[in-house]
Amino acid sequence: MFYLALTALFGAVVLLGHYHYSIDVLAALFITHGVFQMSCWLFGRDYALFRSSESQAVPRTKGTSRKTPVPAGAVRRATKPFVLHIVGEDPAPGGQPTGGS
């Protein structure tokens, strides 16, 4: 709701300041939505990845948990660490970068 109010406010400022034509300000809302929908269609996997990481950043309420319950005494395996490789760099057999030039 806050963003809609700001959109109306800045639209009015642009129109009253004679910075754009009325059709430009009105069409910008539809063009922006169209570009967003096309980018979701063209880059669907990237958008899904973005939305999944966004939900992890949102704080949970007190009663909910993101992790699945683990029985007492069960051993959990550590996850494999993320390694960023430089383009053209050959990884060593152990998964670590070679560090060559």
Mean pLDDT by 10 residues, the chain (101 residues): 92 91 91 94 89 69 59 63 71 59 52
Say how far apart CA 34 and CA 41 lie, in whole Å: 11
Phi first, then psi: give them for residue 69, nearest 5 degrees: -65, 140
Is the whole model's pTM more than 0.75, yes or no? no
